[in-house]
């Protein structure tokens, strides 16, 4: 018994060592990570020190981060909850404190900019947020005022404690919109009764007492922040777009607005344009500047000055953009002009953009500028003064929706060789000559390669740069380097080199609807030289169901010459068939809401093939709002007929997800060899769908989730499982003959994994081909569940070329780690009692809890923020699977689920093996010589 136990322990040890992990010297060798923040909403330059390199950004992805202004890299980043609770409403910045208002005024947070840690956090009363400002007194800033719909509160900047909170008078009728302080111990709250009057309430900074409350007639005004600004010694300046006039009001004294028509200043507004104002308050403890900007047209700005109630035009800027300005160092106006014009020249095309400008005084007293430009396609560009682009960040990549990995093309010489076989033979001699010439070219290329290796070896390591560009892209010998085609929610497409992470091409689709669903398909791979590879992106508006197709070359990103069909009807389903047209493009079928099918490409050849194979083309449609799952068959005239329908009553449960198998998946072994040498055959139905449902009742005692395994062709329900006292979100992986899903158990308050495996039994019904229509026996179903000690964000299975390598599950955790969990641990045949047979089969004894070992994190400390998806792709090596995890960040690596069995390991000791060989060789030589001498001596004796 002892020996058995030892044996078992040994086996367990072996099992643990089989599991791959990263070695420390492999860091950064095959993997890379790119960190993003999202589309910038607020930004501030850290100006407390001249040498400071920080730019603070608060983004629409609820991220607050500090960027290095020299390189664009992150100093630190804080990722808050997704959704309205983490939404950043305002960013105020003073010295080394940054104050954020979060979650519609629910939270006030102060961050230490240098450390990146929290100073304090204050929970505010509920009520929708309106405005916030820093309040200064006698030259120092000590407070922050937060204006909500019904209250105003003032907090100490040092610890967040509330100094005072006051209810706003008449808050049912007055809509309070802004708060302003000029640094004189008073806080002005400006509210409005639309189309009637402005209400100004002045609070004392000391105790929150109302000093003054006035109403000023302004029937034309409806929104203060949009049309007004505080300028100079506390003058409210509003622009009225109906009468085209400026209206001024001294907040301290006057009770009436003075109207100054723009015409009297000699100004004219562009037709159909609402003029607006921009002012600047460099320090909250001081008054705003008396200079301000007036925008008169989309491209037209004026710099004006308020001088003793008189408005003076300082400068007229004609071709400028939507700009923010810090004119603290305003000395020489000609230089501002320069700064404004440069971004456009650098970006080169007409795009909507937002500027964040920092001006500073250089050593020689001239004004310097740094400009951060946020363009419509979510690109962040940082420009130093003479128009030099310091860095760019592609923030669109913070929201990748879908992606594909496309094989790179062969090099020119390889393509030449390939072409030789593709063409029709034109005689023996020319073919021989061609053969010889291509061999010569290959020899030449090889020598050039060797020369380059030799040349590079002499240079120091740091100088050798392998710049990857589209021109020198080529497939490597094991097909480990691929092109990652990434689709982002903003409608920008990227082509990224999987080896280095370099962006090789980008393409912005500017007509993408706001809430679009994307589906990316590879219609033609690079394998069909000279036909270019072709990807098709289906963009569907979720509201209307109307879709468009974008056809492009995935290697160069260029739009293809092939014109996609116009799709006038809403699209319900799209399917990529394994059929190819004469140009080797796979056929894409689109089903519209009239259940009519259109094909792309729709050449005669394709239509003919479709007619021939129509009887064997089935597809399914899911209508989760009706709870209906239905199967259809294609008719020869490209109309459809319904074959089956499964209705899941929507009052009880709703369909959450439907998962089929990946079409490019290969299964190597048909069965599993049991301990008694018999074979248990897998049920490998390629048409199997895993349907996940959740109960509509969310009460913890009655909620449940269901799993339905349905044959997509016949509609036959293969298996049904219900998990009681469980709720979603459910993550599912469906592959080979198994389905793994994860859910939340409300009873035990933990995450649980469950695995379903399907087997045909000890005999295979029809071993040559699988047909859904001819499988009389129901498969055997095995199921087991486990506890998982963490919630999960996403899940995917590894994928290899031939399916020989064992499978791992890649699990994205909320902590940012990506766990590689061997499928072996999720095996319903794990025995509770160990027997001789189970040991023979290498089954791990059942234990209820799955463990998370940090050695299994494929991304070690390179955490991936908010991981949303994991994409796996096979490489040319059977042992190696390429993995891309995306979310806020992008992480690419390779995994070896069964270790690297087909290549020498990267730490292979060439020195040792060669020295041993040499030693043996010399030893034999020497011993031979010695033996000869001995024989000779004996002979002499």
Partner 1 sequence: MSQRGRMPLLWLFIQAGLVLVSCFTDMETGPGAGVSTQPNGDKFKIEGRAIVPGVKTQDWVSTARVLVEGEEYVGFLRTDGSFAVNDIPSGSYVVEVVTPTYRFEPVRVDITSKGKMRARLVNYIKTSEVIRQPYPLQIRASGPHSYFMKRETWGWTDFLMNPMVMMMVLPLLIIVLLPKVVNTNDPEMRKEMEQSMNMLNPNPELPDVSELMTKLFSGSKGSSKAGSSSSGSKGSRPAAKRR
User: Closer to partner 1 at the Cβ: 44 or 682?
Assistant: 44
Report residue 601 as tokens.
Answer: 């490409």
Query: Please, which residue, 335 or 900, has the CB nearer to partner 1?
Result: 900
Identity of the residue, 450 or 913, whose beta carbon is nearer to partner 1 in the bound complex: 913
Q: Is 790 in the site for partner 1 (CB under 8 A)?
A: yes
Binding mask of the shown chain, residues 686 to 705, with x at each position contacting partner 1 by CB under 8 A: ------------xxx--x--
Partner residues linked to 618 by β-bridges: 633
- Are the C-beta atoms of 899 and 820 separated by less than 8 Å? no
Closer to partner 1 by Cβ: residue 475 or 750:
750
Give the shortest CB-23-to-partner 1 separation in angstroms. Answer: 5
Among 727, 734, 823, 871, binds partner 1 (CB under 8 A): 727
Q: Which helix (H) or strand (E) covers residue 160, if one does?
A: none
In the bound state with partner 1, the residue whose beta carbon lies nearer, of 33 and 130, is 33
Could you say which of 34, 346, 479, 815 contacts partner 1 (CB under 8 A)? Answer: 815
- In angstroms, what is the minimal distance from the CB of 50 to partner 1? 23
DSSP letter for 264, please. G
Cα distance between residue 278 and residue 259, in whole Å: 19
Per CB under 8 A, which of residues 108..167 are in contact with partner 1?
A: 109, 112, 115-121, 123
Which one, 21 or 351, has the nearer CB to partner 1? 21
Residue with smaller CB distance to partner 1, 116 or 876:
116
Minimum CB separation of residue 260 from partner 1 in Å reads: 48
Nearer to partner 1, 164 or 860 (CB): 860
Q: Which stretch binds partner 1 (CB under 8 A): 2-10, 189-197, 502-510, 615-623?
A: 2-10
User: Considering only residues 863, 876, 900, 902, which one is a binding residue for partner 1 as defined by CB under 8 A?
Assistant: 863
Among 8, 15, 18, 21, contact with partner 1 (rule: CB under 8 A): 21
661: nearest Cα among 581, 583, 739: 739
669 vs 686: CA distance, rounded Å: 15
Cα 181 from Cα 808, distance rounded (Å): 60
Q: Distance (Å, rounded) from C-alpha 323 to C-alpha 793? A: 39
Site for partner 1 contains 723 (CB under 8 A): no
In the complex, least distance from residue 62 CB atom to partner 1, rounded to whole angstroms: 9
Q: Can residue 862 be called a binding residue for partner 1 (CB under 8 A)?
A: yes
Q: Whole-angstrom distance between the N-terminal and C-terminal Cα of the chain?
A: 64
**Local structure of 467: helix, strand or coil:** coil
Q: Which stretch binds partner 1 (CB under 8 A): 173-181, 200-208, 673-681, 809-817?
A: 809-817
Site for partner 1 in 174-233 (CB under 8 A): none
Residue 761 Cα distances to 683, 696, 783, angstroms:
8, 37, 15
Cβ atoms of residues 141 and 114 within 8 Å: no
Distance in angstroms (rounded) separating the CA atoms of residues 292 and 871: 51
Q: State the minimum distance, in angstroms, from the CB of residue 862 to partner 1.
A: 8
Smallest gap from Cβ 846 to partner 1, in A, equals 13
DSSP label of 173? T
34 contact partners, CB below 8 Å, separation of at least 6? 397, 501, 889, 890, 891
Give the residue with the Cβ less far from partner 1, 671 or 817.
Answer: 817
Stated length of the chain: 941
Spatial contact of 478 and 499, defined as CB atoms under 8 Å apart: no
Q: Could you say which DSSP state residue 85 is in?
A: G
Render the burial of 767-785: b for 16+ CB within 10 Å, e for the rest.
Answer: eeeeebeebeeebebbebb
887 binds partner 1 (CB under 8 A): no
Residue with tokens 């020996």: 3
Total residues at interface with partner 1 (CB under 8 A):
62
**Contact region with partner 1 (CB under 8 A), list: 377-385, 440-448, 743-751, 923-931:** 743-751
Among 84, 219, 789, 845, binds partner 1 (CB under 8 A): 789
Contact map string, positions 62 to 101, toward partner 1, x by CB under 8 A: --------------x-xxxxx--xx---------------
Give the residue with the Cβ less far from partner 1, 161 or 604: 161
The 3-state DSSP class for residue 696 equals coil
Any contact of residue 107 with partner 1 (CB under 8 A)?
Answer: yes
* CA distances from residue 401 to 378, 455, 506, 553, 765 in whole angstroms, order as listed: 15, 43, 15, 19, 41
Binding-site string for partner 1 from residue 518 to residue 547, where x marks contact by CB under 8 A and - marks none = ------------------------------
Other Cβ atoms closer than 10 A to 151: 17
Q: Which is nearer to partner 1, 54 or 540 (CB)?
A: 54
What string of H, E and C letters represents the secondary structure of 842-900? CCCCCCCECCCCHHHECCCCCCCCCCCEEEEEECCCCCCEEEEEECCCEEEEEECCCCC
| CA torsion angle 519 502 867 812 (round to 10) | 100
Asked if 260 and 245 touch (Cβ cutoff 8 Å), the reply is yes
515 binds partner 1 (CB under 8 A): no
Secondary structure (3-state) at 346: helix
Task: Tell me the two tokens of residue 645.
Answer: 């329908």
Residue from 464, 849, 928, 936 in contact with partner 1 (CB under 8 A)? 849
Q: Residue 850 half-sphere exposure, CB side, CA atoms within 13 Å? A: 30
Which of 409, 715, 816, 874 lies at the binding interface for partner 1 (CB under 8 A)?
816
The residue whose two tokens read 């806080």 is: 187
| Residue placing its CB nearer to partner 1 in the complex, 86 or 282 | 86
Site for partner 1, residues 23 to 62, rule: CB under 8 A: 23-25
Distance CA 342, CA 331 (A): 19
C-beta of residue 819 within 8 angstroms of C-beta of residue 857: yes
Smallest gap, in angstroms, from Cβ of residue 787 to partner 1?
Answer: 5
For residues 781, 785, 790 and 796, what is the CA-based torsion angle, rounded to 10 degrees? -10
Taking CB under 8 A as the criterion, the residue among 653, 746, 805, 898 binding partner 1 is 746
Print the binding letters for residues 819-838 with partner 1: x by CB under 8 A, - otherwise: -----------------x--
User: Contact between 750 and partner 1 (CB under 8 A)?
Assistant: yes
Contact 871, 884 (CB under 8 A): yes
As a whole number of angstroms, the distance between CA 418 and CA 546 comes to: 41
Show the site string, 609-648: x = touches partner 1 by CB under 8 A, - = not. Answer: ----------------------------------------
Distance of closest approach, residue 889 Cβ to partner 1, in angstroms: 12
- Smaller CB separation from partner 1, 595 or 860: 860
Taking CB under 8 A as the rule, does residue 476 contact partner 1?
no
Task: Give buried/exposed letters for 910-934 (b at 16+ CB in 10 A, else e).
Answer: eeeeeeeeeeeeeeeeeeeeeeeee
Q: Is 791 in the site for partner 1 (CB under 8 A)?
A: yes
Task: Rank residues 302 and 883 by Cβ distance to partner 1 and give the closer one.
Answer: 883
Under the binding rule (CB under 8 A), the answer on residue 904 touching partner 1 is: no
| 371, β-bridge pairs | 357, 383
Among 128, 243, 258, 861, interactor with partner 1 by CB under 8 A? 861
Q: Which two tokens stand for residue 496?
A: 């990224």
**CB-nearer residue toward partner 1: 574 or 723:** 723
Rounded least distance, CB 4 to partner 1, Å: 6
CB of 822 to partner 1, least distance (A): 15
- Interface residues with partner 1 (CB under 8 A) are 1, 3-4, 7, 21-25, 76, 78-82, 85-86, 106-107, 109, 112, 115-121, 123, 698-700, 703, 727, 744, 746, 748-750, 787, 789-793, 814-816, 836, 848-849, 854-855, 857, 860-863, 866, 907, 909, 912
């Amino acid at each position: 018994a002892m020996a058995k136990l030892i044996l078992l322990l040994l086996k367990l040890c072996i099992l643990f060592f089989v599991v791959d992990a990263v070695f420390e010297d492999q860091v950064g060798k095959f993997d890379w990570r790119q960190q993003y923040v999202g589309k910038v909403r607020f930004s501030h330059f850290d100006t407390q020190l001249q040498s400071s390199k920080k730019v603070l950004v608060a983004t629409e992805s609820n991220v607050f981060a500090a960027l290095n202004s020299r390189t664009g890299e992150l100093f630190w980043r804080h990722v808050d909850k997704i959704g309205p609770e983490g939404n950043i409403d305002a960013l105020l910045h003073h010295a080394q404190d940054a104050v954020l208002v979060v979650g519609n005024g629910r939270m006030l947070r102060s961050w230490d900019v240098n450390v990146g840690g929290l100073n304090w956090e204050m929970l505010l009363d509920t009520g929708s947020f309106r405005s916030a400002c820093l309040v200064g007194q006698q030259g120092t800033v000590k407070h922050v005022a937060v204006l909500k719909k019904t209250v105003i509160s003032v907090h100490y900047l040092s610890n967040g404690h509330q100094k005072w909170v006051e209810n706003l008078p008449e808050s049912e009728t007055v809509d309070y919109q802004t708060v302003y302080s000029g640094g004189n111990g008073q806080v002005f709250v400006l509210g409005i009764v639309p189309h009637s009057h402005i209400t100004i309430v002045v609070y004392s900074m000391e105790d929150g007492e109302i000093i003054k409350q006035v109403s000023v007639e302004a029937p034309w005004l409806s929104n203060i922040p949009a049309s007004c600004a505080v300028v100079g010694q506390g003058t409210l300046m509003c622009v009225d777009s109906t009468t085209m006039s400026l209206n001024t009001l001294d907040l301290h004294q006057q009770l009436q607005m003075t109207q100054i028509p723009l015409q009297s200043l000699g100004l004219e507004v562009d037709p159909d344009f609402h003029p607006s104002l921009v002012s600047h308050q460099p320090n909250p403890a001081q008054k705003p500047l008396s200079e301000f900007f007036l925008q008169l047209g989309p491209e037209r700005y004026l710099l004006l000055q308020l001088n003793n109630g008189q408005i003076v035009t300082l400068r007229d800027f004609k071709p400028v953009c939507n700009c923010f300005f810090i004119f603290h160092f305003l000395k020489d106006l000609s230089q501002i002009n320069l700064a404004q014009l440069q971004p456009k020249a650098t970006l080169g095309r007409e795009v909507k953009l937002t500027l964040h400008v920092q001006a500073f005084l250089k050593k020689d007293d001239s004004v310097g500028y740094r400009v951060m430009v946020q363009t419509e396609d979510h690109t962040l560009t940082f420009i130093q003064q003479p128009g030099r682009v310091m860095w760019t960040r592609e923030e669109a990549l913070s929201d990748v929706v879908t992606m594909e990995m496309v094989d790179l093309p062969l090099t020119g010489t390889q393509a030449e060789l390939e072409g030789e076989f593709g063409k029709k033979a034109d005689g023996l001699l020319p073919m021989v000559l061609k053969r010889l010439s291509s061999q010569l070219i290959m020899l030449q290329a090889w020598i050039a390669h060797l020369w380059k290796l030799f040349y590079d070896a002499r240079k120091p390591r740091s100088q050798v740069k392998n710049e990857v560009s589209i021109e020198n892209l080529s497939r490597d010998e094991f097909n480990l380097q691929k092109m990652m085609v990434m689709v982002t929610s903003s409608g920008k497409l990227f082509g990224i080199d999987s080896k280095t992470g370099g962006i090789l091409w980008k393409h912005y689709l500017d007509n993408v609807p706001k809430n679009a669903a994307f589906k990316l398909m590879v219609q033609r791979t690079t394998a069909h030289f000279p036909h270019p590879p072709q990807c098709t992106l289906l963009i569907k508006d979720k509201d209307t169901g109307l879709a468009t197709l974008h056809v492009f070359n995935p290697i160069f990103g260029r739009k293809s010459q092939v014109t996609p069909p116009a799709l006038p009807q809403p699209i319900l389903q799209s399917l990529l068939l394994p059929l190819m047209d004469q140009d080797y493009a796979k056929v894409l079928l689109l089903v519209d809401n009239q259940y009519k099918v259109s094909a792309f490409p729709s050449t005669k050849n394709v239509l003919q093939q479709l007619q021939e194979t129509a009887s064997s083309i089935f597809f399914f449609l899911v209508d989760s709002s009706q709870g209906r799952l239905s199967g259809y068959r294609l008719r020869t005239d490209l109309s459809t007929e319904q074959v089956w329908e499964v209705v899941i009553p929507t009052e009880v449960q709703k369909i959450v997800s439907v998962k089929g198998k990946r079409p490019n998946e290969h299964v190597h072994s048909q069965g599993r060899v049991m301990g008694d040498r018999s074979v248990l055959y897998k049920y490998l139905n390629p048409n199997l769908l895993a349907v996940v449902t959740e109960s509509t009742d969310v009460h913890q005692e009655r909620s449940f989730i269901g799993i339905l395994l349905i044959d997509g062709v016949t509609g036959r329900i293969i298996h049904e499982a219900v998990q009681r006292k469980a709720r979603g979100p459910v993550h599912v992986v469906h592959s080979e003959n198994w389905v793994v899903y994860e859910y939340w158990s409300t009873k035990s308050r933990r995450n649980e994994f469950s695995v379903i495996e399907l087997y045909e039994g000890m005999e295979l019904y029809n071993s040559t081909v699988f047909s859904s229509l001819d499988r009389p026996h129901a498969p055997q179903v095995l199921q087991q569940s486990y506890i998982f000690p963490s919630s999960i964000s996403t899940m995917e299975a590894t994928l290899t070329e031939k399916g020989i390598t064992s499978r791992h599950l890649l699990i994205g955790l909320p902590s940012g780690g990506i766990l590689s969990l061997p499928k072996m641990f999720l095996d319903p045949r794990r025995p509770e009692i160990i027997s001789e047979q189970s040991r023979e089969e290498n089954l791990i004894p059942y234990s209820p809890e799955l463990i998370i070992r940090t050695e299994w994190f494929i991304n070690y400390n390179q955490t991936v923020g908010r991981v949303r998806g994991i994409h796996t792709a096979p490489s040319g090596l059977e042992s190696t699977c390429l993995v891309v995890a995306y979310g806020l960040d992008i992480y690419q690596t390779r995994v070896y689920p069964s270790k690297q069995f087909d290549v020498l390991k990267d730490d292979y000791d060439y020195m040792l093996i060669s020295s041993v060989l040499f030693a043996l060789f010399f030893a034999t030589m020497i011993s031979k010589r010695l033996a000869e001498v001995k024989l000779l001596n004996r002979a002499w004796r």
